[in-house]
A = this chain, B = another copy of it.
Amino acid sequence: MYSFKNDYSEGAHPNILKALVESNMNQEDGYGNDIHSKNAIIKIKELMGNQNADVHLISGGTQTNLIAIGAFLRPHEACISVDTGHIAVNETGAIEYTGHKIITVKSKDGKLNTDKIQEVLDFHTNEHRVKPRLVYISNPTELGTIYTKEELKTLSKFCKSNELILYADGARLGCAISLKEADISLCDMCEFTDAFFIGGTKNGALLGEALVIKREDLKREFRYHIKQKGGLLAKGRLLGIQFEELFKDNLYFELARHANEMAKLLTMGLIEANCKLLIDSPTNQVFPILENEVIKRLEKNFGFYIWSKVDDKHSAIRLVTSWATRKEAVTEFIKELRK
């Protein structure tokens, strides 16, 4: 049984484990004040070409989202997200628990644009309604699609002129910035957003996301918020060591590139097998539409989630590749499918 369920089925990239072992008995200060966290943060600032941004290493994606959004907003302010946004559907109301409404707008491809944001602004004009204040995007989106540089630039400009905070969830950011045909870099993410995070968990780390805060007024006393939400690990070295390794010799980008390539291989195999895709995703999530009977057959040897019902006989499934996906597994899957 081989699993395409997600990009966190395996442990960590071997380099990370090696570094953990080698540094294990060194004494380090706690709570992110260790040398590894410091080094990792320096490296990330270098790669973004921004020395003024603040970087914080936090355990997971939901944790990062709730700490950041909870810290950025005043009580009456709200988020805008597409209806498939991770914070909107898959975080058990974590953002609402911090007291903030998520205003959702419909989107077919998981992407947000300025027209949709403008509609929300037009509807929320006085104190009887929440004040829209933070625009949440995911890059890649929950459907595997990505934003072009031009799209990010447009969103950025719109948010600035409307006093909105632009925040990007980068749980799978590696796959967006490592895509050959894409034109987005880590520098662009930093330039065009007010804050965003660089996902580690889904790209080879045991756990860990690097939250980048560029905008000055959002930085203040941020470590208080991490601690208050239980996000400040005593052994912060665990996060530091991992990001140190991930950003050594471009490992982070290579791992993401592999995930993308495996996804491309899958996609090509599916197309050759005359499968339709629910959505055209260039990153590590692939959504083929298959006959229910075929799905049942595939489930015997492969793990994956059924994404949505398409019609009485067909459903879309989700196949996720990662840094750890073996090429043979992809070939096997396509072979099994074509039977």
Contacts and interface: CB of A to CB of B under 8 A. Distances in A.
Contact of A25 (B76, B90, B324): B324
A181 interface: no
Contacts of A78: 93, 96
Contacts of A64: 230
A223 interface: yes
A25 B11 contact: yes
Interface in A1-52: 2-3, 5-6, 8-12, 14, 17, 20-21, 23-31
B201 A75 contact: no
A144 interface: no
A62 B230 contact: yes
Contacts of A238: 11, 206-207
Nearest to A123: B89
B223 A235 contact: no
Given A75-B225, A99-B97, A127-B223, A11 B30 contact: no
Interface of A, helix, strand, loop or mixed by DSSP: loop
State the number of copies, please.
Answer: 4
A244 to B, nearest CB: 14
Contacts of A228: 75-76, 91-94, 97
Interface stretch (A128-136, A183-191, A248-256, A261-269): A128-136
A91 B23 CA distance: 28
A279 interface: no
Given A221-B127, A235-B8, A59 B62 contact: no
Contacts of A8: 30, 234-235
Nearest to A59: B59
Interface in A281-302: none
A64 B230 CA distance: 8
A174 interface: no
A160 interface: no
Nearest to A26: B10
Contacts of A206: 20, 235, 238
24 contacts: A8-B30, A9-B27, A10-B24, A11-B20, A11-B235, A12-B20, A20-B20, A20-B206, A63-B230, A64-B230, A65-B230, A66-B230, A67-B230, A75-B225, A76-B224, A76-B225, A90-B129, A91-B128, A94-B228, A97-B99, A128-B227, A202-B234, A229-B229, A230-B230
